[in-house]
Amino acid sequence: MNKTLKFTLVFFSLLAYNFLIIDSITIYFNLSNGIKTITTSSLITLLSAILFAPLIEEFVFRWSLNRNDDVKYYIYLLVSVCILFFVETYFGILLFTIFSYLFSFKYKFKTESKIHFNLFLFSAAISFCIVHIPVINAPTLSINIFMALITFLPIGLFFSYIRVCIGLREAIISHSIYNLLTLAINEVIY
């Protein structure tokens, strides 16, 4: 099976996961009142979801995902500080500690192992989830965290994989198409 077909299958599997599993959980927790569709979204919201968010999020969370590139550590330390001050203090501290440890580990061994890089990639995907916590609007922080992890971790890992295996441009395009299809499918379902 060629790489394009694999990515396409995973992409549409993640869309199906979003609408079959995540929407069921959303309805169970009674969080479905804020579901965005194309007709209920303003032009600014549509542009944000389809253009601005994919561009900004891919540059912030995945631009620096190169092995043995120190820039990613500085960027993720900065992202951790932003999470600390603007999203959730405890997660900001936790992520800052994780990225600091990974950074010091790299300097100790002068190279980055595959396990080390994958741990960094997973931590970056967790950062992507945490930034989306305010979007969920659940009554408690624990439900927000749970929903952010099960909703955004799989797609964050997928976009990271696209970035590492194919390129940043393809990750941005995939992110834009994913957001557009999510809004369009929401339009049909809701």
Residue-level pLDDT, tens digit, the chain, 190 residues: 788 889 999 999 999 999 999 988 888 888 766 666 677 778 888 898 899 999 988 988 888 777 666 777 777 778 888 877 777 777 778 888 887 877 777 666 666 678 778 888 888 888 888 888 888 888 888 888 899 999 999 999 999 999 988 999 999 999 999 999 998 888 888 7
Per DSSP, 69 falls in state -
Domain with 184 in it: 44-189
Query: Does residue 6 lie within any of the structural domains?
Result: no
Query: Does residue 20 lie within any of the structural domains?
Result: no
Query: Does residue 183 lie within any of the structural domains?
Result: yes
Query: Does residue 64 lie within any of the structural domains?
Result: yes
Alpha helices in 35-140 (DSSP H): 43-47, 53-61, 71-86, 89-109, 114-131, 133-136
Query: Does residue 130 lie within any of the structural domains?
Result: yes
DSSP for 113-171, written as a single string? -HHHHHHHHHHHHHHHHHHTHHHH--SSHHHHHHHHHHHHHHHHHHHHHHHHHT-HHHH
Number of structural domains in the chain: 1
What pTM, to 2 d.p., does this model score?
Answer: 0.84
Query: Does residue 19 lie within any of the structural domains?
Result: no
Query: Does residue 135 lie within any of the structural domains?
Result: yes
Query: Does residue 150 lie within any of the structural domains?
Result: yes
Cα of first residue to Cα of last residue in the chain, in angstroms, is 35
Q: Is 152 exposed, middle or buried (0-12, 13-18, 19+ CB in 10 A)?
A: buried
